[in-house]
């Protein structure tokens, strides 16, 4: 699976949009971009994923550049409960046993009141 690069930490004011970048310049054509987050002492929580089109769900939006070498996760109205470590991962989709998820160091997002 392709390697990703994320900033170590970021902070954002409560109520503002949090924009978390991720570089994945070696992504392959069949690899999706996935975002997970881990709140302290909990298991990772799925947020969103996409292949090449921008995606939006009830939690966030995912913007993928046209060359697919980078993406941005957007939390539109950050709250204190969004404080977590956010992981950007690229992998082949589906139930293939070869598509294991390797976590990088992620971005520690702090939301300030």
Interacting residues with other proteins (CB under 8 A): 32, 34, 36, 38, 41-46, 49, 85, 87, 91, 93-95, 97, 99-106
Spatial neighbors of 75 by CB under 8 A, at least 6 apart, are 12, 17, 18, 20, 59, 60, 82
CB of 95 to other proteins, least distance (A): 5
Q: Which helix (H) or strand (E) holds 13?
A: strand 9-13
Q: How far is the CB of 17 from other proteins (least distance, A)?
A: 24
| Min separation Cβ 46 and other proteins, Å | 6
């Amino acid at each position: 699976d392709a390697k990703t690069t994320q900033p170590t930490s970021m902070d954002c004011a409560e109520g503002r949009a949090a924009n978390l970048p991720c570089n994945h310049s070696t992504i392959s054509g069949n690899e999706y971009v996935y975002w997970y987050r881990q709140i302290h002492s909990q298991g990772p929580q799925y947020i969103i994923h996409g292949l090449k089109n921008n995606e939006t769900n009830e939690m966030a939006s995912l913007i993928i550049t046209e060359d697919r070498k980078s993406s941005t996760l957007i939390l539109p109205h950050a709250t204190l409960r969004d404080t977590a470590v956010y992981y950007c991962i690229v992998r082949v989709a589906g139930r293939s046993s070869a598509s294991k998820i390797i976590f990088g160091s992620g971005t520690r997002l702090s939301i300030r009141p």
